[in-house]
Amino acid sequence: MIRRSDLESLFDNSSLYIKHGKRGEITLEDYYSIDKIKEKYHLSKSVIFTRGKKHKIPKRLINGRSCWSKPAVDKAFTPSQTLYSKSDCYSTEEIMNKYNMSIGAVRQMVSRHKIPRFQEAKSDDRQGD
């Protein structure tokens, strides 16, 4: 039970009620699917999920598919594409061969010296190897 006087005093000093309209329909043009992100940025699913969690990229379930906000994805994923080109980088295998190092030594050196690195998704022709 609520006292009438309390309820009426609440509405006596309030502003006019404005009815809010329906929210805009969610369209797929505002979101990327995981496959679109993989195709556009050439990254693996694990890298996408890791970076998505790190940058807190908003996700929605649309028609049973996990979709990610386009502006947030573009902001989080574009810098790695512009900072590095493939011709400016060594692969892990190239470093191992050039400097006669094991994979563990390469990873430890990169981690210790905080050398920036990035990972590309395997291409379809290499996935069978």
SS3 6: helix
Mean pLDDT of 54-63: 85
pLDDT the model gives residue 123: 57
For the chain, list the domains and their CATH numbers: 27-83 (1.10.1660), 87-115 (no CATH)
Query: By the 8 A CB rule, do 118 and 110 touch?
Result: no
For residue 2, give both structure tokens: 């609520």
Helix ranges (H only) for 42-102 are 45-54, 70-83, 92-99
Closest CA to 121 of 88, 94, 81: 81
Could you report the per-residue pLDDT of 17-30, keeping only the tens digit for each? 655 555 555 566 78
- Tens of pLDDT, residues 76-92: 887 544 556 677 788 88
Least confident of 4-13, 31-40, 42-51, 61-70: 4-13
